[in-house]
């Protein structure tokens, strides 16, 4: 990861003037502790993206945070923060599976034009590790391409080094042709 300069930040719509506030109970939660360090950083960046407004007057003033319509693209992660695409995707998957964010609108390519995914912050992390937590489903379209994963699953065991698990691949395989003795 890297720290971007102010010019790069403003180009992507980020600001140094905003504060990130994280509830203490979130930092002490099992869901937050189980996240990888990069996923924690990405969560902070999502929290930095949200807007807020004040409600009430005087001592009764409260900040109300807008937790919907948060956009954070792979390009921003790569160019601004130095997070490669696969690591960023893994972070998004962790944040979804631990109950911190949800995909509000799935992005992709529509008629040759790219559309960014929109996310929303959710409070499901409070129930992580309990019977009340329902593990959210991670959209398959979040992954770049799962072809290699499916191929490897289909081939599982065929390339094992253990003799009793494998069959000869071909007459020219490293084992060589069978010889009768």
The token pair that represents 148 in the structure block = 């290699």
Contacts of 91 (CB under 8 A, 6+ apart): 36, 38, 39, 42, 83
Q: Model-level pTM? A: 0.74
Position with higher pLDDT, 172 vs 104: 104
Measured between alpha carbons, how far is 100 from 124 in angstroms, rounded to an integer? 6
Q: What is the pLDDT of residue 165?
A: 44
Q: How many domains does the chain have?
A: 1
Q: Examine the pLDDT at 66 and tell me if it is beyond 70.
A: yes
Tokens 């309990």 -> residue: 130
Residue 171 placed within a domain? no
Q: What is the pLDDT of residue 157?
A: 58
Give the range of the structural domain holding residue 113, as residue numbers without chain letter. Answer: 6-144
Residue 80 placed within a domain? yes
Q: What is the pLDDT of residue 11?
A: 83
Average pLDDT of the segment spanning 54-75: 91
Distance of CA 181 to the CA centre of its chain: 58
The token pair that represents 52 in the structure block = 């807020």
């Amino acid at each position: 990861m890297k720290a971007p300069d102010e010019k790069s930040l403003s180009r992507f719509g980020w600001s140094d003037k905003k504060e990130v506030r994280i509830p203490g109970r979130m930092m002490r939660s099992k869901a937050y502790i189980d996240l990888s360090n990069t996923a924690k950083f990405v969560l902070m960046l999502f929290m930095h993206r949200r807007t807020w407004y004040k409600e009430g007057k005087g001592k009764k003033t409260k900040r109300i945070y807008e937790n919907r319509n948060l956009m954070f693209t792979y390009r921003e992660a790569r160019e601004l923060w130095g997070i490669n695409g696969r690591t960023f995707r893994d972070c998004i998957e962790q944040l979804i599976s631990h109950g911190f964010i949800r995909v509000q609108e799935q992005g992709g390519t529509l008629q040759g034009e790219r559309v960014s995914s929109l996310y929303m912050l959710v409070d499901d992390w409070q129930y992580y590790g309990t019977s009340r937590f329902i593990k959210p489903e991670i959209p398959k379209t979040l992954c770049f391409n799962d072809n290699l994963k499916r191929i490897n699953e289909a081939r599982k065991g065929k390339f094992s080094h253990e003799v009793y698990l494998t069959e000869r691949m071909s007459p020219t395989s490293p084992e060589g042709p069978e010889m009768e003795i």
